[in-house]
A and B are shown apart, each in its own frame.
Chain A
């Protein structure tokens, strides 16, 4: 016999979308239950980007794949706070041109920069944004210098980070405490397996440890992230435009070996980004610990062999764009869905062009050698060698991504959209989605800010209408 719980509002998934939504519902006086598949761990439970963190806070131990040519290996958080606990918190508001494009392509109502600004403001009051005080670490600054020498613009991105306290502004540090303060109840290690409408209420069937739990709620928000939300909805019989349009920000990487030390223990996270080529591609810096250098160079033994002696002179950088259109489908008797992806040649060409731009910037910044992180690709000693690279890297390239979205887009275009402009599932009897699934395409900028602001906007809309 399953345990039964009754609540006014249930929110499934405690990432940025779910945590913001649940806080607002609890503060409005509704009995609100937030359930989370993963464990409830403090931010500092594991070293950031360590093997332990991957095993305890990432979905599927960090192993997930969108199968295609090329495939995209992607990661998601699976813990209280979702991706915000494991990410770097690089922060941007959604660019105005992206919102305009979504409003046009998916016919989303009231989605302008001005209309969204108060929601960004409100979220930034709780999850605080700041810029790195003082100068950026050399590894980061080098990207800025290289860009400047080529006449390109680079920026130092703000982060969801409290530099004074040295703490990231993840959900477990911000909206989850706010939710609890308002009387909300959180159940971790609890996985929703199915939802259904029964007698005018929502019924959520969940697994908690070895037992089953049934939750009955007047209003329900699904915020399981852009892969698990469509998986849960499709399993529960909701299929219209659900899981047909998943998008990523696939990345290619390169490692630079500089003429001097740039990568010191204890340096703050690098923050420089080159955004002027977006949406064709955007460029940035990655954490460059020996372990992450080795991972990126797994197919490039020549440069990897130098980590032992030269890690302090090495920096890891990425280029990303929005290539690929993916689908999420459940497999019989399997918990995890299958994700398949197809690419447009033009978008792949733009990404590869972006990799070449990145390598030019690194040479301009004083790199002695640059290794594109593609199996079998040569170590480059000068910028002229970029021209001799193969025209097509896709036989040996594996793309990676940490950003997933747009699997259940919002809008009034019934041929494309899973929900209306406010996250209500079309034909879903008041069922709402509240996570990155709602985006109408790649956010181009780092997505967490957009996920929070849109969740905030839609939660207020739902509360004003008493969830009608």
Chain B
């Protein structure tokens, strides 16, 4: 099972949606928003972001025998939390990028507030 960029984005959206109690947006819509944002972002940012995401996806393969996008949600969240708290700047930047776009989208479907 190879690292897969869109599958990683979808797996991230599902995992973050799982911990985002009360947010009404769907993980599918959040993943679509992230992928659309990725397509629109400056071209020179896309290759490094894609490479970092694929590395993030491949990370658990040695220990657990499968990429991030094939892990159960609790293990995905554990890996995401660890990267969020990492002392390594690029690891934190990667999680900040995904967390920001995904929580924005997940909370966007709440029609109760303007």
A335 at the interface (CB under 8 A from B): yes
Q: Is A334 within 8 A of B37, CB to CB?
A: no
Q: How many A-B residue pairs have CB under 8 A?
A: 97
- Asked if A312 contacts B113 (CB within 8 A), the reply is yes
- Verify if B33 is at the interface (C-beta below 8 Å from A): yes
User: Does B61 lie at the interface of the complex (its beta carbon under 8 Å from any beta carbon of A)?
Assistant: no
Q: What CA separation (Å) do A318 and B99 show in the bound complex?
A: 21
- Is the Cβ of A61 less than 8 Å from the Cβ of B113? no
**Cβ distance A64 to chain B, nearest Cβ, rounded Å:** 7
Find out whether the CB atom of B43 lies under 8 angstroms from the CB atom of A295.
Answer: no
- Give the distance in Å from the alpha carbon of A51 to the alpha carbon of B44 in the complex: 23
Q: Which has the most chain B C-beta neighbours within 10 Å: A265, A289, A294?
A: A294
- On chain A, the residues within 8 Å of B107 by CB distance are 289-291, 293-294, 307
| CB within 8 Å of B: which A383-399 residues | 396, 398
B113 touches A51 (CB 8 A): no
The verdict on B26 contacting chain A, using a C-beta distance below 8 Å, is no
Q: Which of A301-342 contact B (CB under 8 A)?
A: 304-305, 307-309, 311-312, 331, 334-336, 338
Q: Which of A60, A291, A375 contacts B96 (CB 8 A)?
A: A375
Say how far A295's CB is from chain B's closest CB, in angstroms.
4
Check B105–A51 contact: CB distance below 8 A.
yes
With both beta carbons as reference points, the residue of chain A lying nearest to B103 in the complex is identified as A294
Interface size on B, residues (CB 8 A): 29
Q: Which residues of A contact B (CB under 8 A)?
A: 50-51, 54-55, 60-65, 263-267, 288-295, 297-299, 304-305, 307-309, 311-312, 331, 334-336, 338, 375, 396, 398
Task: Judge whether B22 and A307 touch: CB under 8 Å.
Answer: yes
For this complex, 28 residue pairs linking A to B, each with C-beta atoms less than 8 Å apart, are A51-B104, A51-B108, A54-B37, A55-B33, A61-B36, A61-B37, A61-B39, A61-B40, A61-B41, A63-B37, A63-B40, A64-B42, A266-B114, A267-B114, A288-B113, A290-B23, A293-B107, A294-B107, A295-B100, A297-B103, A298-B96, A299-B84, A311-B110, A334-B42, A335-B42, A336-B42, A338-B44, A398-B96
Measured between beta carbons, the chain A residues less than 8 angstroms from B112 are 265, 290, 311
- A295:B42 contact, CB within 8 angstroms: no
- How many angstroms from the CA of A174 to the CA of B86 in the assembled complex? 49
What is the bound-complex CA distance between A336 and B43, given in angstroms?
Answer: 7
Set of chain A residues within 8 Å of B40, measured between Cβ atoms: 55, 60-61, 63
| Chain B positions 2 through 26: 1 when the CB is less than 8 Å from some CB of chain A, otherwise 0 | 0000000000000000001111000
Do residues B33 and A51 form an inter-chain contact, with CB atoms below 8 A? yes
What is the CA–CA distance of A70 and B33 in the complex, to the nearest angstrom? 26
Q: Smallest Cβ distance from A37 to chain B, in angstroms?
A: 13
Tell me the dominant secondary structure on chain B's binding face: helix
* Cβ < 8 Å to A, chain B residues 77-114: 84, 92, 96, 99-100, 103-108, 110, 112-114
**B1 at interface (Cβ–Cβ under 8 A)?**
no
Identify the closest chain B residue to A54 (Cβ): B37
Instruction: Check if B106 sits within 8 Å of A294, measured CB to CB.
Output: yes
A75 to B44, CA, bound (A): 17
Residues of B within 8 A of A312 (CB): 113
- B42 contacts A63, C-beta separation under 8 Å: yes
Interface residue? B62 (CB, 8 A): no
In the complex formed, the residue of A with least CB distance to B41 is A63
Distance, CA A309 to CA B100, complexed state (A): 20
Provide the residues of chain A in CB contact with B37, threshold 8 Å: 54-55, 61-63
Central interface residue in B44, B96, B113, by most chain A CB within 10 Å: B113
Residues of A within 8 A of B105 (CB): 51, 291
Q: Considering the complex of A and B, which 10 residue pairs feature the smallest CB-CB distances, nearest first?
A: A308-B22, A61-B40, A336-B42, A63-B41, A294-B107, A294-B103, A291-B108, A290-B107, A291-B107, A298-B100
Q: How far is the CB of A404 from chain B (nearest CB, A)?
A: 15
A334 CA to B114 CA in the complex, in Å? Answer: 38
Contacts of B84 in A (CB 8 A): 299
Flag if B21 contacts A331 (CB, 8 Å): no
Given A265-B114, A289-B114, A375-B96, do A308 and B44 touch, yes or no (CB 8 Å)?
Answer: no
What are the residues of chain A within 8 A of B104 when measuring CB–CB? 51, 291-292, 294-295, 298
Shortest distance from the beta carbon of B50 to any chain A beta carbon, whole Å:
14
Q: Assess whether A63 is in contact with B22, with CB atoms less than 8 Å apart.
A: no
**Cβ 8 A contact of A55, one of B36, B100, B106:** B36
